[in-house]
């Protein structure tokens, strides 16, 4: 056994000397099944960051963002840390009773927030509810059509997933209400190789300069309130436990001096939404 160890050490020494003489000084020694190597990292709900890479190792010059004066990155997790503004947001929106209760809470405390419904939950029989969201000064964004992971889609499927909710929302409301902010399912747009290049390009084609994630996701009020900072974006869902938490934390956060704004406002867009009578109709031919 000792002899074998000495032989291994000698072999590694030779490899290191060879690498230093002919390579970059780095030697990688692996063992076992190569298929068990670590998978590419994927942005998780808690790990997404302000920084974003839009190129992968195969093409370092592709899909780089154009120079811009926009102070926000493509992937937004929070707004300005210098202003005491925060945003509440609610995803999925399956439970209409929870939506109605949340709107009543907003009106009770005089605040606004942003709703990110899936396209599949938008139905004409709920027109009054969605109109009440708008009448309360709140914002309607999109969480895609059916909560599929965008990074796994080809261009046509991704465009449909992103843009068909606009068509559905206009049908429900009976007029055009432009969707201005998007939250990707799972807070993630990476493909299987860990790159956002493809999704970035498609989202830009669809008219989205940003996607919106969050920096606080906690349904326990005791844990949620201390995590809120200037610019925080809070994530909730249309569930009773989330609604109870929202009702509890709003007055506490108001006492701390926070101002509630929509996410559109948080990222520098006007609170006013320019509606029209021309309903949006999705046509793939416009993107080919």
Contact (Cβ atoms closer than 8 angstroms) between residue 202 and residue 158? yes
235-245 tens-digit pLDDT: 999 999 999 99
Separation of alpha carbons 187 and 156, rounded Å? 20
Question: Which of 33-42, 156-165, 172-181, 188-197 bottoms out in mean pLDDT, i.e. has the lowest?
Answer: 33-42
Q: What residues have CB less than 8 Å from 84, skipping those under 6 apart?
A: 230, 257, 258, 259
Over 90: is that where the pLDDT of 135 sits? yes
pLDDT for position 70: 52
Over 90: is that where the pLDDT of 257 sits? yes
pLDDT for position 271: 85
What is the value of pTM for the model shown? 0.77
Contact (Cβ atoms closer than 8 angstroms) between residue 233 and residue 212? yes
Question: Which of 47-56, 85-94, 169-178, 189-198 bottoms out in mean pLDDT, i.e. has the lowest?
Answer: 47-56
Over 80: is that where the pLDDT of 265 sits? yes
Using pLDDT thresholds of 50, 70 and 90, give the confidence band for residue 68: very low
Q: What is the mean pLDDT of the chain?
A: 83
Q: What is the dihedral of CA 76, 114, 142, 101, to 10 degrees?
A: 140
pLDDT for position 71: 59
Using the structure block, give the residue that is written with the tokens 């956002």.
196
Using pLDDT thresholds of 50, 70 and 90, give the confidence band for residue 139: very high
Over 70: is that where the pLDDT of 170 sits? yes
Give the mean model confidence (pLDDT) for residues 124-146: 98
Domains of the chain with CATH codes: 75-287 (3.20.20.370)
pLDDT for position 3: 45
Percent of the chain having pLDDT more than 90? Answer: 73
Q: What is the DSSP string of the chain?
A: -HHHHHHHHHHHHHHHHHHHHHSSS------S-GGGSPPPP---TTT--S-----BTTBTTTTPPPP---SS-SEESB--TTS-EEEEEEEE---HHHHHHHHHHHHHHT---EEEE-GGG--GGGHHHHHHHHHTT-EE-B--SS---GGG--HHHHHHHHHHHHHHHHHHHTSB-----B--GGG----TTS--HHHHHHHHHTT-S-EE--SB--S-HHHHHHH--TTBEEEEESSHHHHHHHHHHHHHHHHTT-EE--HHHHTT--SS---BSS-----GGGG-
């Amino acid at each position: 056994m000792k002899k074998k160890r000495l032989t291994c050490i000698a072999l590694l020494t030779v490899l290191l000397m060879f690498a230093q003489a002919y390579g970059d000084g780095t030697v990688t020694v692996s063992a076992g099944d190569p298929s068990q190597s670590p998978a590419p990292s994927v942005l998780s709900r808690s790990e997404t960051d302000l920084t974003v890479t839009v190129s992968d190792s195969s093409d370092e010059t592709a899909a780089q963002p154009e120079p811009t004066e926009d102070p926000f990155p493509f992937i937004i997790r929070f707004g300005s840390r210098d202003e005491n503004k925060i945003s509440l947001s609610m995803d999925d929106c399956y439970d209409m009773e929870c939506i109605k209760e949340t709107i009543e809470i907003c009106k009770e405390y005089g605040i606004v927030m942003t709703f990110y419904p899936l396209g599949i939950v938008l139905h004409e029989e709920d027109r009054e509810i969605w109109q009440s969201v708008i009448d309360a000064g709140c914002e309607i964004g999109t969480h895609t059509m059916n909560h599929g992971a965008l990074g796994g889609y080809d261009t046509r499927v991704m465009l449909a997933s992103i843009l068909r909710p606009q068509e559905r929302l206009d049908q429900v409301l009976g007029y055009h209400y432009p969707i201005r902010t998007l939250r990707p399912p799972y807070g993630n747009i990476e493909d299987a190789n860990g790159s956002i290049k493809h999704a970035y390009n498609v989202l830009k084609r669809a008219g989205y300069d940003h996607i919106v994630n969050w920096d606080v996701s906690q349904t326990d009020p005791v844990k949620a309130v201390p995590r809120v900072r200037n610019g925080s974006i809070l994530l909730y869902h249309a569930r009773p436990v989330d609604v109870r938490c929202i009702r509890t934390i709003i007055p506490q956060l108001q006492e701390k001096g926070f101002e509630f704004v929509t996410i559109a406002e948080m990222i520098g867009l006007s609170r006013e939404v320019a509606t029209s009578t021309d309903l949006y109709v999705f046509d793939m031919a416009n993107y080919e």
